[in-house]
């Protein structure tokens, strides 16, 4: 079993910054990909950013403003969000693709979500 604990959401004004963090724990032998999804009311969940061992990628709308990083020793992924806009308002979900230390299977996990609200 893998647990993902998210933190860092909140309310900020347009142009402000937040840093989200997500710590993974449990039966993990290897993490292949970590990332962040977001979902606004009435919209589909979209992939915001991912990070693997050798690459990162971002949805076009956040390029130049958001930075994803990870601390492998802590199994933690971060999302630094700068120059926030009202359209960034959403619930942000941490994502981990990992191999189980118990069964060897590769699985996807999502965190509980943290609310990010950007006021005009």
Across-strand partners of 18? 81
Percent of the chain with pLDDT over 90: 98
The residue whose two tokens read 């971060």 is 78
What is the dihedral angle through the alpha carbons of 98, 100, 9, 37, rounded to the nearest 10 degrees? 40
Contact, 58 vs 76, CB < 8 A? no
pLDDT value at position 61?
Answer: 98
CA-CA distance, 67 to 74, in Å (whole number)?
18
pLDDT value at position 26?
Answer: 96
User: Cα separations (Å) of 81 from 16, 20, 32, 44, 78?
Assistant: 8, 8, 23, 20, 9
The residue whose two tokens read 């915001």 is 48
CA-CA distance, 98 to 109, in Å (whole number)?
8
Percent of the chain with pLDDT over 70: 100
| pLDDT digits 0-9 by tens, 77-112 | 999 999 999 999 999 999 999 999 999 999 999 999
User: Cα separations (Å) of 2 from 15, 23, 41, 100?
Assistant: 34, 10, 27, 8
Strand-strand pairing, 106-110 and 18-26: unpaired
């Amino acid at each position: 079993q893998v647990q993902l604990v998210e933190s860092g959401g909140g309310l900020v004004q347009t142009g402000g910054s937040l840093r989200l963090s997500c710590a993974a724990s449990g039966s993990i032998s290897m993490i292949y990909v970590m990332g962040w999804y977001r979902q606004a009311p009435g919209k589909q969940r979209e992939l915001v950013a991912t990070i693997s061992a050798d690459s990162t990628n971002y949805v076009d709308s956040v390029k130049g403003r958001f930075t994803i990083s990870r601390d492998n020793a802590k199994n933690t992924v971060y999302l630094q969000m700068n120059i926030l806009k009202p359209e960034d308002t959403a619930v942000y979900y941490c994502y981990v693709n990992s191999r189980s230390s118990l069964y060897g299977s590769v699985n996807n996990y999502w965190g509980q979500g943290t609310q990010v609200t950007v006021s005009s």
